[in-house]
Amino acid sequence: MTYQDEYGMSVNQPESFWQEKAAALPWFTQPKHILSKDENGMDRWFADGEMNTCYMAVDYHVEQGRGAQAALIYDSPVSDTKYTVSYAELQEKVAIFAGALQDKGVTKGDRVVIYMPMITEAVVAMLAVARLGAIHSVVFGGFAPNELAVRIDDAQPKVIVTASCGIEIQKIIPYKPLINEAIELAEHKPDSVIVLQRPQVVAELDRAHDADWTACVAAAKPVAPVPVKGTDPLYILYTSGTTGTPKGVVRDNGGHAVALHYSMKAIYDVDVGDVYWAASDVGWVVGHSYIVYGPLLKGCTTVVYEGKPVRTPDAGGFWRMCEEYKITTLFAAPTAFRAIKKEDPNGELIGQYDLSHLRNIFMAGERLDPPTYEWTVAKTGKPVIDHWWQTETGWAICGNLLGVETKAPKPGSATVPTPGFNVVILDDDGNALPANTQGSIAIKLPLPPSCLPSIWNNFPRFQESYLSEFPGYYCSGDGGYIDDDGYVFIMGRTDDVINIAGHRLSTGEMEEVVADHNAVAECTVIGVKDELKGQLPVGLVILKDGVEIDEATLFAELKAMMVKQIGPIACFKEALIVGRLPKTRSGKILRKILRQMADNQPYVVPSTIDDPASLDEIKDIMQSKGLI
């Protein structure tokens, strides 16, 4: 089967293509309606299939005789702990914790927020929620209480599951005070908060709704997987949009399981028993798809790593892991490799480890810049595969399909569209653009399995954000082009989303934080290039008349506000006091031009600009500060 055959079938006969892929999974009732419409008129996959994702990912493997195989490898250089959990042990832990959640009143369709560091109990909690047919919403530990509160109010969880602390590089972060603050800020109050006590910090369980994980588990009885429909939601994952309110991306059980199971062989070329490591965090989509569900659905061994690519303890951490656990497939964000390259430019640490089991290195989450690509290939001697995807899709939209047909890589390109994704480049009026012409990257409907059918409780926002710009297409929010050979080049976002160290954040949300400062009359936040983290946010600020504050003080105060409102991962870089901002005559800030200027991209100054000199003024300031 060539890539062309596989891809052609997926877009020309999507129903028979995906029916065949679905048949590879153990459904309770195989789906007969492969593609149908829901009440919103959205395409839905496998509506009448009955299944349970936790059963498919755990119990099924035990039934197949893989009970003794390692399901999870836990390696935590920050707490000096290592162990493995077999599939049989995982089944037991998940069934009991599902019982504990059931004792707290969680049933099918209820939401459970999980705010945990990279420990195996986070995976157990996610699978236990799925086992009950309930819906998890994992929130990344680097988000501040305010962000957590916004998610609590939107998802309205019955239970929150957390741990007593997270551990960063030489820094222990107690989680319980953050949870308490978030619950205080939120209007919705959960019935229970289950806390896993870690040895580094003992959390005070001082509120009526607090419960101890170990005590809950000791009192619980194991429960069996609850059947759900293919279209029932498995999880909500919040991601940054262009406004301050994050979008709750909804993921189906059926389409998700089918797409991820298919991707394990087609994209990553892994088989049952391979050791697959996505060095991300369960708080991000990569963690959901490729630390938890993908590898377990396939029957691989997956890795839960509580550490960083560098400084835990050194830039050899990734390679030590690859040797120690005979990892076959490594997946991380380019920023991780830039961090390693910075500390070990000649790859001396790489040479100290046996990487003979490692077959491929995959990268995603942000643009893979050619120098990082070349360095990683040269120093590891391994194929490096760029692939492009989004929280909204849950798996790669473009990649090099190693399990179908390997294409020659082109640095700077995420290679070709994944089967199921009909990728096109459109101009502002929605017309298809010819090869090598840059435009908006869109996907012709129907979207393949696993892609979001809606935003949680907000279909109008889903339509407005993704479907209204180009009718009949999903608008990705990324710009780029397709070359003569059909290779797709992703050039960056066309909206107010930026990517900091592989973390997706909204400049719109940051703008709201800056605007809250009492010295600020007007502002905008743009992403500037950063050698290590890809992009960093810079604020352009007009002060209120009569206010006197120096730039350094303003910056320090704004940075503290960012940490408090969004979290430390916001990494606010600089605040620049400017006299004016480029605007249209109707008073709208020309963010697109500022973004293009910051990216060193060519831009056309629109005729509607009110004050063209304002743009040159900002350019001069940014150049003088070495920001562009």
Q: Note the residues at the interface with ligand AMP (CB under 6 A).
A: 239, 285, 364-368, 386-391, 414, 477-478, 490, 493, 499, 504
Sites for ligand COA among residues 142-161 (CB under 6 A):
142
Q: What whole-number distance in Å separates Cα of residue 167 and Cα of residue 308? A: 11
Containing 461, the helix (H) or strand (E) segment is helix 459-462
Find which of ligand COA, ligand AMP, none residue 477 binds, CB within 5 to 8 Å per kind. ligand AMP
**Token pair listed for 342:** 């910075």
CB-based contacts of 555, cutoff 8 Å, min separation 6: 572, 574, 575
Find which of ligand COA, ligand AMP, none residue 100 binds, CB within 5 to 8 Å per kind. none
Which of 58, 78, 216, 333 touches ligand COA by CB under 6 A?
Answer: 333
Find which of ligand COA, ligand AMP, none residue 308 binds, CB within 5 to 8 Å per kind. ligand COA
Minimum distance, C-beta of residue 171 to ligand COA, in the bound complex (Å): 6
Stretch that binds ligand COA, among 333-341, 456-464, 477-485, 586-594 (CB under 6 A): 333-341
Find which of ligand COA, ligand AMP, none residue 386 binds, CB within 5 to 8 Å per kind. ligand AMP
| Using rule CB under 6 A, residue 372 touches ligand COA | no
| Using rule CB under 6 A, residue 166 touches ligand COA | yes
DSSP letter string, 101-167: HHHTT--TT-EEEEE--SSHHHHHHHHHHHHTT-EEEE--TTS-HHHHHHHHHHH--SEEEEESEEE
Minimum distance, C-beta of residue 143 to ligand COA, in the bound complex (Å): 8
Which of 56, 501, 514, 618 touches ligand COA by CB under 6 A?
Answer: 501
Contact 112, 100 (CB under 8 A): no
Tell me how far CA of residue 452 lies from CA of 131, 542, 561, in angstroms: 21, 39, 32
- 3-state class of 70 per DSSP? strand
Q: What whole-number distance in Å separates Cα of residue 133 and Cα of residue 20? A: 25
Q: What whole-number distance in Å separates Cα of residue 234 and Cα of residue 251? A: 6
Q: What whole-number distance in Å separates Cα of residue 296 and Cα of residue 61? A: 9
| Using rule CB under 6 A, residue 141 touches ligand COA | yes
| Using rule CB under 6 A, residue 344 touches ligand COA | no
Minimum distance, C-beta of residue 315 to ligand COA, in the bound complex (Å): 10
Contact 563, 144 (CB under 8 A): yes
Find which of ligand AMP, ligand COA, none residue 141 binds, CB within 5 to 8 Å per kind. ligand COA
How do 329-332 and 360-363 pair as beta strands?
parallel
| Using rule CB under 6 A, residue 565 touches ligand COA | no
Which of 165, 194, 286, 540 touches ligand COA by CB under 6 A?
Answer: 286
CB of 137 or CB of 239, closer to ligand AMP: 239
Minimum distance, C-beta of residue 237 to ligand AMP, in the bound complex (Å): 9
Which of 9, 11, 88, 173 touches ligand COA by CB under 6 A?
Answer: 173
Size of the chain, expressed as the number of residues it contains: 628
Q: What whole-number distance in Å separates Cα of residue 550 and Cα of residue 104? A: 53
Which of 349, 569, 576, 597 touches ligand COA by CB under 6 A?
Answer: 569
| Largest interatomic CA distance in the chain | 75
| Using rule CB under 6 A, residue 168 touches ligand COA | yes
Residue type, 251: R
Minimum distance, C-beta of residue 396 to ligand COA, in the bound complex (Å): 12
- At CA 502, angle to CA 504 and CA 272, rounded to 5? 115
246-285 footprint of ligand COA as x/- string (CB under 6 A)? ----------------------------------x---x-
Enumerate binding residues for ligand COA (CB under 6 A): 141-142, 166, 168, 173, 280, 284, 286, 308-310, 332-333, 335-336, 339, 365, 501-503, 568-569, 571
